[in-house]
Amino acid sequence: MNPKYSPFFESLTLKSGIPLKNRIVLAPMTTLSGNEDGTVSDAELRYYARRSKGVGIAVTACTYVTPNGKGFSGEFAAYSDAFIPSLQRLATTIKEQGAKAILQIFHGGRECPPDFVPNGVVVSASAVPSERNAAVVPQALTDDEVAGIVKDFGETTRRAIEAGFDGVEIHGANGYLIQQFFSPHSNRREDRWGGSVEGRLAFPLAVVDEVKRVVAEHAKAPFAVGYRFSPEEAEEPGITMAETFVLVDALVEKNLDYLHVSLNDFWSKPRRGVEDTSRSRIELILERVGNKVPVIGVGSLYTPDDVAKAMQTGVPLIALGRELVVEPEWVEKVAEGREANIATTLTRDDQEKLSIPDQMWGMIVHTPGWFPLV
């Protein structure tokens, strides 16, 4: 192995006691490939098996915690105990390859297509449509409904424990329900779940508290809890870097195992909310809380040199999404000094070779610019 890549392979023990064999994470990516009944499909199991051998952690695609939280076609479900056997197949598949299995838990909120939710009723913090789903005006959740969804995140965490996962990642990113409560764009409430930035924090923190409570009650072995967030929003009004600092300061107090920054580009810089726009968002977040909680960085990193440069910021964990789709053996090839053989592009003949499910492959082929397709 090239010595400059040795930092990738340093071990790390998370606060919960979960030991990681290295610093590379399989990023959560939607496969669109669950069965019609909400169970995990064989195609998904093959996809995860191919990508869980080298990495320290494999974070699954998000699973929805309530029937009205389904955000995608082919999303596998976790809102009922009936899904525990399905979840167990996924956890076992990942762990058999040597990675720690983390279930990403989620509610789509106003981004849910009406066809996917009961009676077509899409819900959110407030009755404000999103800019990417502008035709759908969501129904504002009642106080009791909000409290119920908090409990649903806890119940899904219990199922993850019973299914044998090593942890959960709370999906507070990418414009979905948890972020909708924190965002001034989507949260116009004036009750205990809204108002000031602290009021808008109430729901995200309530979810964290409930998940942690369930872990303390039900987990018999170390069980990790991470939180994924998007550091800014393009919308006006929207989350700024200044508000992101309020969020991460609050999350640090919750003794989480990690914070996962959701970015399309690791090196992207702030839009607004801070005076220092010369450094990347990741660097500013690391400066703020990096000495208190491990941070996972992600975003358009493909080659070992890309990852080595990113780790020079001090970020302890790097997630690879698209690159591990393109090159499932990325970690093994770096470890064996075969980095020259790492693929960084796809061809239209690669689907079967790479164990990519049909629906995911269709999205890759028909979404220009998403993947390096040649």
Residues with catalytic function: 176
Q: Could you tell me if 13 and 349 are in contact, meaning their C-beta atoms sit under 8 angstroms apart? A: no
Distances (CA, A) of 19 to 101, 279, 307: 12, 31, 21
Structure tokens at 262: 């959701």
Tell me how crowded residue 3 is: count the other CB atoms within 10 A of its CB: 6
The candidate with the shortest Cα–Cα distance to 284, out of 308, 314, 321, 258, is 314
Assigned token pair, 318: 């790097």
Distance CA 24, CA 56 (A): 6
For 247, the enclosing helix (H) or strand (E) is: helix 241-252
* Tally of CB atoms within 10 A around 16: 19
Phi, psi of 320 (to 5 degrees): -115, 125
